């Protein structure tokens, strides 16, 4: 990577991994990092989905890399966090970093999927991941949804091919990989 020496982090990694609140200063005693904001994950996912067909294929469970990818933030009044359209198929993504995914929210999203002919992908970290299993998500959605855990997402991000991808996108992937490892360490 240009401007980054071995064993040093890029400017993007530095930004994403920056601690902005320390437990002694937080009312509940939590540490807070830039990446704790779900909006950061929306942006990182959008960049990787739009710029890396292989990432889109792996994350969305497609048989082949999509021709074109379009990402919409908070579609239809925010029923999901992202709508990803690939070759005419709608995929919906819900991201939970520290917040829980309630059964009520999940049920509303399943009703939405029934009338909008899409597939849902739940990227759940920490508390939300502890509350839902792969089997729960699949069975409660009649196969219309899948859970993507932190280890699976880390594997997908790590596999982005650097030779076939823009260097900026590779830098984003490496920074997101560092974020995922840090979330895993903290939890």
The closest of 163, 143, 159, 161 to 151, measured between CA atoms, is 159
Q: What is the pTM of this model?
A: 0.92
- 5 in a structural domain: no
Rounded to the nearest 10 degrees, what angle do helices 150-158 and 53-60 cross at? 160
164 domain residue, yes or no: yes
Q: How confident is the model at residue 30 (pLDDT cuts 50, 70, 90)?
A: confident
Per-residue model confidence as pLDDT tens digits over 5-17? 556 889 999 999 9
How many domains does the structure of the chain reveal?
A: 1
Is there a domain that residue 178 lies in? Answer: yes
Confirm whether 3 is domain-assigned.
Answer: no
> Tell me, what CATH number does 150's domain have?
3.40.1350
Q: Are strands 145-148 and 118-124 parallel, antiparallel or unpaired?
A: parallel
In a domain, residue 2? The reply is: no
2 has a pLDDT exceeding 80: no
CB 154 within 8 Å of CB 127? no
The pLDDT, as a whole number, for residue 5 is: 55
Please indicate, yes or no, if residue 71 is contained in any of the structural domains: yes
Domain span at residue 122? 11-186
């Amino acid at each position: 990577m240009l401007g980054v020496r071995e064993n040093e982090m890029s400017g993007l990694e530095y930004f994403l991994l920056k601690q902005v609140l320390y437990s002694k200063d937080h009312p509940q005693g939590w540490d807070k990092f830039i990446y704790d904001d779900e909006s950061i994950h929306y942006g990182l996912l959008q960049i990787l989905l739009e710029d890396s067909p292989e990432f889109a294929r792996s994350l969305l469970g497609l048989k082949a890399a999509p021709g074109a990818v379009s990402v919409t933030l908070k579609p239809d009044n925010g029923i999901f966090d992202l709508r990803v359209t690939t070759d005419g198929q709608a995929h919906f993504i819900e991201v939970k970093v520290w917040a829980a995914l309630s059964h009520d929210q999940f049920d509303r999203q399943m009703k939405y999927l029934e009338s909008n002919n899409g597939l849902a992908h739940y990227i759940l970290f920490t508390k939300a991941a502890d509350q839902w299993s792969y089997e729960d998500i699949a069975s409660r959605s009649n196969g219309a949804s899948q859970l993507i855990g932190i280890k699976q997402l880390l594997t997908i991000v790590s596999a982005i091919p650097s030779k076939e991808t823009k260097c900026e996108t590779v830098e984003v992937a490496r920074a997101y990989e560092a974020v995922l490892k840090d979330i895993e360490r903290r939890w």
